[in-house]
Amino acid sequence: MIISDEQVQRVVEYLHTPEEYVERGGRPILASPSAELVDLVIRELSALPDMRADRIQQAREMLDSEVPTADMVAGKLIGRVLSDSIR
């Protein structure tokens, strides 16, 4: 999934002020997923193909119309790393 600039901004904001994202009583707003949910997600992901032909075709079509700049690619990569770091 492509991360939006707004999502990156929220992650950066969270990393600067994590205490604002805690409920009264000291519990985090986001609860840990149950073991059953994790198992379900793992099973569903295991059933997906390693490569999705539709996504590859979509990427090829996007590159035909506009080649992203190095700054655009770097920004998305850094945003994804930041977002994934708070999971």
Q: Which amino acid is at 40?
A: L
* Residue-level pLDDT at 84: 83
Helix axes 5-16, 70-85, angle to 10 degrees: 50
Alpha carbon distance 46, 41 (integer Å): 8
Does this model's pTM top 0.75? My answer is: no
Question: pLDDT tens-digit profile of 47-65?
Answer: 888 888 888 998 888 888 8
pLDDT, average across residues 25-43 = 74
Is the pLDDT reported for residue 16 higher than 80? Answer: no
d(CA 72, CA 69): 5
Is residue 77 a contact partner of residue 3, using CB atoms and an 8 Å limit?
no
- Cβ-Cβ contacts under 8 Å for 85 (sequence gap 6 or more): 11, 15
